[in-house]
Amino acid sequence: MVPISYYLILSAVLFTIGVIGVLVRRNAIIIFMCIELMLNAVNLSFVAISKHLDSLDGQIFVIFVMTVAAAEVAVGLAIIINLFRNKETINIDEVNIMKW
Amino acid sequence: MTAFFFFPIAIVVLISASLVIFFRNPVHSALSLLLTFFSLAGLYILLNAQFVAAIQVIVYAGAIMVLFLFVIMLLNLDKVKKERERHPLQKAFGILIASLLLVVLGSVIASGILYGTKGIYTVEKVAAIGNTKAIAGLLFTDWILPFEITSILLLAAIVGAIVLSKKEL
Amino acid sequence: MPIDYIPILAFLIFALMFAVGTIAMSSIVGTKKTTPEKMMPYECGVDPIGSARRRFPVKFFIIAVLFIIFDIEAVFLYPWAVIFKDLKVFGFIEMGIFILILFVGLIYAWKKGALEWE
C-alpha cells in the first residue's frame, strides 16, 4: 500500500509545477495548459482523499471539476483566439491594457 | 503491489509535467501535457477510481487536448518568436514564490492534520456495487442540484465560445 | 480492482515498444539518400504550393467546442444509463431537464450558423 501522503506530496509538487509555469512562461496558451495542470493536481488530491476517507464525494467532485475545466477551456481559448486576431500576439506581456 | 506501479507512474507524471513548462514549442508542451493526463489516469486506477480514470482519458486527453492542439494550429504558433523578458528578475521571483508555496503545502501534509469522518464506501463495498454504479447512485440523488447547474454552465460555455469567435462565421 | 488493468498496461507498453521500435529500426537500418524529389510530400503529382502549416479556419474551433460540451454530456449520460432502472421516473425527469437546457445551447449554435459548413 502507498500511504496517502505520497499522493498528496505528488499532487503538491504537480501544483507547484503549474504555478511555476504560470509565473514564468509568457505564452498565453502555455499558461492555460499550466492552469489545467493545477486543476489536475487538485483532482489527484480529491481522489486520494476520497479513497482515504472511504467516501465517493471526492470522485464526484472530480467530475464537476472536469466539467468546469471543459467550459473554461472552451471560453478561454476563444478569448485567446480573439486576442490573437486583435493584436497578432499571445505574449501576455504585450497585452497589458484592458481596452484601447 | 500498488507501490510497484506508483513510483514509475509518479516519475512519468513529474517529468512530463516539468517538460510542459520547459519546451519552447507549444505543440511539444501540449503533447507532454497529454502524457501527464494519461499517467494521472493510471494513478486514478491505482486509487480504485475507475470511472474517474475513464473520463480523465475521454474528457482531458480526448477532448480538451484536441481543442488545445486545434488552437495552436489555428494560430499557427509553430514558429513563435522567443519569449522576451520584460523584467529581468521575473523568472527567479516566479520560481522563488512557487517554491515557497510548495513549502506551505508540504508543511500542511507533513503536520498530519488531514482528518475527516470516514464514509461508508469502503473499497470492498464499492467493488461489490461497481464503481460507476456507486458514483451514479450518489450523483443523481445527493448531488442533483450541482448536476443540474452544470447544464447551465455548459450552456453558458457554448454561448460564450460562439459569441467570442463568431466574427468570421 | 487495479489488478484487472494490468492487461491494458501491457497493451500500452507493447504499443509503445512497437511504435518506438519501428521508427528506431527504420532509422538505423534504412539508407538515407535524400533528393529534393524524395523529400516532397508526393513524389509524383501536383507540386505543393506554400507551406503546409497554414492557419486553420476558425470553424474547426467551433466544432471542437461543441464536441467538448456534448462529450461532457455523454460523460453524465453514462452513469445515468447504469442506474436508470433504479431511479425510475425521477431519473428520467432530472436527465430530461439537463438535456433540455443543453438543447437550448444546440439551438442557439444552430441559429447562429455555427453548424453551417459552406
Chain center to CA of B123: 24
Instruction: Please compute the mean of the pLDDT values over residues A50-78 and round it to a whole number.
Output: 92
d(CA B31, CA B73): 13
Q: Report the CATH number that the domain containing residue B47 is assigned in CATH.
A: 1.20.120.1200
pLDDT of residue C52: 63
Asked if B72 and B10 sit in the same domain, the reply is yes
Q: Cβ distance A90 to B75 under 8 Å?
A: yes
Asked if B68 and B131 sit in the same domain, the reply is no
C58 CB neighbours in chain A (<8 A) are 81
pLDDT of residue B1: 74
d(CA C5, CA B47): 12
Note down the domain range covering B144: 117-169
Of B67, B137, B155, the CB nearest to C65: B67
Of A70, A78, A81, the CB nearest to C72: A70
Counts for chain A of helices (H) and strands (E), in that order: 3, 0
d(CA B98, CA A19): 6
Q: What is the pLDDT along chain C (118 residues), one digit of tens a residue?
A: 778 888 988 998 999 999 999 999 988 888 877 787 777 777 777 777 766 666 667 788 888 899 999 999 999 999 999 998 888 899 899 999 999 999 999 999 888 887 777 6
C67 touches chain A (CB under 8 A): no
d(CA C111, CA B154): 18
Q: Give Cβ neighbours of residue B60 (< 8 Å, ≥ 6 apart).
A: A36, A40, A66, A69, B37
Residue B128 pLDDT exceeds 60 = yes
Asked if B1 and B50 sit in the same domain, the reply is yes
Mutate to test the interface with C, among A64, A77, A84 (most CBs of C within 10 A): A77
Q: Cβ distance C102 to A67 under 8 Å?
A: no
Residue B96 counted as domain residue: no
Distance from CA of B129 to the nearest CA of A (A): 13
Cβ–Cβ gap B162/C108 under 8 Å: yes
Cβ–Cβ gap B83/A32 under 8 Å: no
Asked if B1 and B75 sit in the same domain, the reply is yes
- The set of cell numbers assigned to B71 is 488552437
Chain center to CA of C98: 24
Cβ–Cβ gap A77/C68 under 8 Å: no
Lowest mean pLDDT among A48-57, A69-78, B61-70, C56-65: C56-65
Which among C56, C64, B164, B81 has a CA at the least distance from the CA of A86? B164
Estimate the crossing angle of helix B26-46 against helix B2-22, to 10 degrees.
160
pLDDT of residue C99: 94
Fold held by C58-118 = Methane Monooxygenase Hydroxylase; Chain G, domain 1 (1.20.58)
Q: What is the ipTM of this complex?
A: 0.91
Residue B125 counted as domain residue: yes
B161 CB neighbours in chain A (<8 A) are 74-75, 78
pLDDT, one tens digit per residue, over B133-162 is 999 999 999 899 999 999 999 999 999 998
d(CA A16, CA C45): 52
Residue B18 counted as domain residue: yes
Q: Residue A61, SS3?
A: helix
Could you give the residue ranges of the DSSP H alpha helices within B47-143?
50-55, 65-74, 90-111, 123-129, 131-139
DSSP annotation of B47 reads: T
pLDDT, one tens digit per residue, over C39-72 is 777 777 777 776 666 666 778 888 889 999 999 9
Residue B99 pLDDT exceeds 60 = yes
Residue B23 pLDDT exceeds 70 = yes
Size of interface A-C (CB pairs under 8 A): 20
pLDDT of residue B169: 47
d(CA B65, CA B62): 6
Chains that touch A (3 or more CB pairs under 8 A): B, C
A74 CB neighbours in chain C (<8 A) are 65, 68-69
Query: Closest residue of B to A93, CA-based?
Result: B86
Burial state string for B70-92 with b = 16 or more CB within 10 A and e = fewer than 16: bbbbbbebeebeeeeeeeeeeee
Residue A97 pLDDT exceeds 80 = no
pLDDT of residue B168: 55
pLDDT of residue A62: 95
Q: Cβ distance B71 to A77 under 8 Å?
A: yes
CATH 1.10.287.3510 correct for A4-88: yes
Cβ–Cβ gap A74/C75 under 8 Å: no
C72 CB neighbours in chain A (<8 A) are 66-67, 70
pLDDT of residue B78: 54
pLDDT of residue B115: 75
pLDDT of residue C16: 92
Residue B73 pLDDT exceeds 90 = no
Asked if B16 and B67 sit in the same domain, the reply is yes
Asked if B61 and B131 sit in the same domain, the reply is no
Of C61, C69, C97, the CB nearest to B71: C61
Residue A24 pLDDT exceeds 50 = yes
Size of interface B-C (CB pairs under 8 A): 135
Residue B130 pLDDT exceeds 80 = yes
pLDDT of residue B79: 56
Q: Which region holds residue B159: left if phi is over 0, alpha if psi is between -120 and 50, else beta?
A: alpha
